[in-house]
Structure 1
Amino acid sequence: MEERIKNLRLKEWLIAQIDSGQYAGLSWENVEKTLFRIPWKHAAKQDYKQNEDAALFKAWAVYKGKYREGRDKADPTMWKTRLRCALNKSTDFQEVPEHSQLDLSEPYKVYRINTETDTDMGQEFSQIKAHVINHGSPSCIPPQNLPVPQPQQDCKTQSKNGDAVQILREAVVREHMYHWSEAPQDPRSPSLIITAPALTVTSISDIRLQVRLFYHGQLVLDVITCSPDGCFILQGQGPLGSERIYGPCSAQQISFPPPAVLHLPPDITQAMTHLLPHLERGVLVWVAPDGLFIKRFCQGRVYWSGPLAQHTDRPNKLDRERTCKLLDMHIFQSEFRRYLQGEGHRPRYEIDLCFGEEFPNSSLQETNKLIMAQVVPLFAVDLLQSVQTADKQHLDTFRTHGEEGQPDTPPLPQP
């Protein structure tokens, strides 16, 4: 029982604290228990009482092992920052600024509990991993109901009706399923878990993101991030753990280079110099089990395009201080499954961000935008490349047989 309580997620832990009634000011805002109020008094206030006003934040720090009574120095500001970081990172919560009151003598914030999160995410992955641990090498365990690739001569026969391509593609996915499930904690290795026969994506542990920054269409920075807390794309350096950063404190920071890195026309340089200060707190991008997310903190406007963007021919604006889903894992898996079976297009996963200028629109090309960023989740890249490699190997094999007098297979559609 103690172990189960110790491993509660933030959502479960926080609901328990609200229901306990032991923290002054922490309460439900509605009878449906989907909104709750959390006290948010600043430590600089004259009537601030650490034992009362920091009690909840301290409890979270103790629960997570970040503060040990009698051994660590009390730091109410850091306690508060840690809980705020956890709330902002979690897809279970959404801040409701219009209901919050921060100017009162007893200030508070209001959060909404999201009810659409996938609580079953990762269960099947855990079962697969347990099977591997209990039964030895994963390469010796054929997935149930998945066709096993036949020897080359059988593949030649099946290629006449296109089945060989499907078998080889599924073989690649099966191989990666077991290979990736062995070491899901390594952020540098692919770790999209696919299960057969439904080929369902159930977990992501590859949280790497490739971030490219462009000034007036020219690449100025290309970075691969690997922090579990995502990355900030921002102007300057935001001090980690500061009250000025309203997001995960250990997120990797990607700072915009000075415009002088390129020899741009004077008017373009001047416009960028004027825009950059408005991007001081930037945006936070991170990978979660159910997709890719972003949150805008800077005062400068940010626009985007990607798989879930509402418009393709007019601007999509990111609202400030609101979490936005850029890529949905369930949609991606559905599109990937159809693509794998030769029935659909290659899934989209690239995200384009435009800072300070409306995007997309028909009046200006991407190359004319002052500052843009492209964000690419590498789990998608690795998965699609592995399938494409299998297709190429299959095509090369049958071309060889064709040269020996066997019928060639038609070229495979490229992603």
Structure 2
Amino acid sequence: MLISFYYGGKFVGHSTTSYPEGCRISLSLLLSTKMYDPEGLENIRFPSADLIQNDRQKQVTKKLFGHLERGVLLHSNKNGIFIKRLCQGRVFCSGNSMMFKDRPNKLERDEVVKIFDTNQFFRELQQFYNNQSQLPESRVILCFGEEFPDMAPLRSKLILVQVEQIYIQQFRDEARKNCQNNLMIQPPEEPHPDQVFRFPDICGPHQRSFFRENQQITV
């Protein structure tokens, strides 16, 4: 997976992970107990809020960080991308397997959710090659502490994390390059219904920065 971080719409860093069990995105690398970090998960840390130039934005982001200590777990396999919210702060997301496309999708705490369906992407990509649809979205966006998706511009959000399966990104880039050639692809077979991922049991182009001084966050 390629994981990119944006604060107030400004790109602040990225990480890649290929660990079989996935990764944990959180604030600290020091919580290394098995309760929080099951063996096999890679730790990925949020970039420091000190990278933010706007003092008010930096202050509010650090306040929000206080509710994100335990972070989220992410896992990627041939069936898609799965997430488990551990943190106290609310997490909202977009993804091709989420229920809503035009209003907020809230992730419930300690619940494993499939936020990206790989086979759905390939079906939509086939339709694109057949001139029946637009190029499908390959990215998942996580929004911490603020409702998403909504009418507010992405650059107004304090903390956004973009997640993408690297090989899916390559398929999308190739489709964009060859969209005039009417090429055909063969979608993968549908996964068996019980082919889902379960995390180990744990406690049960860059946009300019845009920040509202009256920013509201939810926890």
Common fold by TM > 0.5: yes
CA RMSD, Structure 1 to Structure 2 (Å): 2.0
The 8 Å contact of residues 211 and 376 in structure 1, kept in 2 or not, is answered as yes
Counterpart in 2 of 1:300?
89
* 3-state secondary structure, aligned to 1:284: strand
Counterpart in 2 of 1:214?
6
5 Å matches for 1:31-180? none
CA distance in 2, matches of 1:316, 1:269: 26
Q: Please, what TM-score do these two structures have when normalized by structure 2?
A: 0.75
Q: Is 1:251 paired with 2:54?
A: no
The one-letter amino acid paired with 1:211 is: I
Q: Is 1:288 paired with 2:80?
A: no
Q: Is 1:237 paired with 2:29?
A: yes
Q: Is 1:366 paired with 2:157?
A: no
Q: Which runs of 5+ in 1 are unaligned?
A: 1-208, 396-415
* 3-state secondary structure, aligned to 1:292: strand
Q: Which residue of 383, 386, 396 maps to 2:171?
A: 383
Q: Which has more radius of gyration?
A: 1
Counterpart in 2 of 1:226?
18
Mark the CA change 1:301 to 1:238 in structure 2 (over 3 Å): closer, same or farther. Answer: farther
The 8 Å contact of residues 17 and 42 in structure 2, kept in 1 or not, is answered as yes
CA distance in 2, matches of 1:279, 1:230: 19
Mark the CA change 1:361 to 1:389 in structure 2 (over 3 Å): closer, same or farther. Answer: closer
CA distance in 2, matches of 1:305, 1:348: 10
CA distance in 1, matches of 2:178, 2:154: 34
The one-letter amino acid paired with 1:375 is: V
Mark the CA change 1:310 to 1:390 in structure 2 (over 3 Å): closer, same or farther. Answer: closer
Aligned residues: 182
Mark the CA change 1:386 to 1:366 in structure 2 (over 3 Å): closer, same or farther. Answer: closer
CA distance in 1, matches of 2:170, 2:38: 26
The one-letter amino acid paired with 2:17 is: T
Q: Is 1:263 paired with 2:57?
A: no
Counterpart in 2 of 1:313?
102
Counterpart in 1 of 2:192?
none
The 8 Å contact of residues 235 and 277 in structure 1, kept in 2 or not, is answered as no
The 8 Å contact of residues 6 and 159 in structure 2, kept in 1 or not, is answered as yes
Identity %: 32
How far the C-alpha of 1:243 sits from its partner, in A, is 3.5
The one-letter amino acid paired with 2:34 is: E
Q: Larger relative CO (CA 8 A, sep 6+): 1 or 2?
A: 2
CA distance in 2, matches of 1:248, 1:338: 40
CA distance in 1, matches of 2:129, 2:30: 42
5 Å matches for 1:322-361? 322-361=111-150
More strand by share: 2
The 8 Å contact of residues 210 and 223 in structure 1, kept in 2 or not, is answered as yes
More helix by share: 1
Q: Which residue of 245, 255, 274 maps to 2:63?
A: 274
* 3-state secondary structure, aligned to 2:56: helix
Mark the CA change 1:223 to 1:243 in structure 2 (over 3 Å): closer, same or farther. Answer: closer
The 8 Å contact of residues 98 and 116 in structure 2, kept in 1 or not, is answered as no
How far the C-alpha of 1:391 sits from its partner, in A, is 5.0
How far the C-alpha of 1:325 sits from its partner, in A, is 0.5
Q: Please, what TM-score do these two structures have when normalized by structure 1?
A: 0.41
How far the C-alpha of 1:238 sits from its partner, in A, is 4.7
CA distance in 2, matches of 1:306, 1:249: 27
CA distance in 2, matches of 1:290, 1:314: 25
* 3-state secondary structure, aligned to 1:211: strand
Q: Which runs of 5+ in 2 are unaligned?
A: 183-219
The 8 Å contact of residues 238 and 281 in structure 1, kept in 2 or not, is answered as no
CA distance in 2, matches of 1:353, 1:388: 24
How far the C-alpha of 1:388 sits from its partner, in A, is 3.9
The 8 Å contact of residues 295 and 320 in structure 1, kept in 2 or not, is answered as yes
How far the C-alpha of 1:244 sits from its partner, in A, is 3.1
The 8 Å contact of residues 6 and 12 in structure 2, kept in 1 or not, is answered as yes
CA distance in 1, matches of 2:74, 2:136: 20
